[in-house]
Amino acid sequence: MKTIFAFAFVLALALAAPLDDSKNAQVLKYENDNIGVDGYKFAFETSDGHQREEQAELKKLGDDVEALVVRGSYSYTGPDGVVYTVTYLADENGFHPEGAHLPAV
């Protein structure tokens, strides 16, 4: 009898748990432009508040040296209800993120 009661209690807790909205998120916007070997551009937005956009272009550094320069941003709503946004640049010098919630380097 105790086993049945314990099982029913655990089942009730599992059914009462909040649903994870990110598993049920819908795509609200999606754009994709593949420029070919010279770069790309894309963006998307979901119903749970996630957004991302990014574009890249090929940069000539020398006669036979090229690098892909990527600029973009993403945002999401944290568990605390605050919307966090990160903008970034990735190039031959590395990945450089910026955001109000990130420490300044």
Residues facing residue 46 across a β-bridge: 27
Q: What is the pLDDT of residues 81-92, one digit of tens each?
A: 999 999 999 998
54 membership: H or E segment, kind and range: strand 51-60
Where does the pLDDT of residue 69 fall: very low under 50, low under 70, confident under 90, or very high at 90 and above? very high
- The pLDDT mean for the chain works out to 81
Burial status of residue 25 (CB atoms within 10 A of its CB: 0-12, 13-18, 19 or more): middle
Do 88 and 73 meet the contact criterion of CB atoms below 8 Å apart?
Answer: yes
pLDDT of residue 102: 86
Q: Amino acid identity, residue 97? A: P
Both tokens assigned to 5? 């009661």
CA distance 27 to 104: 33
pLDDT of residue 45: 94
pLDDT beyond 50 at 43: yes
- Share above pLDDT 90 across residues of the chain, in percent, rounded to a whole number: 46
Q: Which residues, including other chains, have CB under 8 Å from residue 98's CB and lie 6 or more apart? A: 86, 87, 88
Q: What is the pLDDT of residues 20-39, one digit of tens each?
A: 556 788 999 999 988 777 78
Both tokens assigned to 98? 């910026």
Do 52 and 32 meet the contact criterion of CB atoms below 8 Å apart?
Answer: no
Please give the backbone phi and psi of residue 5, each rounded to the nearest 5 degrees, phi first: -65, -45
Where does the pLDDT of residue 66 fall: very low under 50, low under 70, confident under 90, or very high at 90 and above? confident
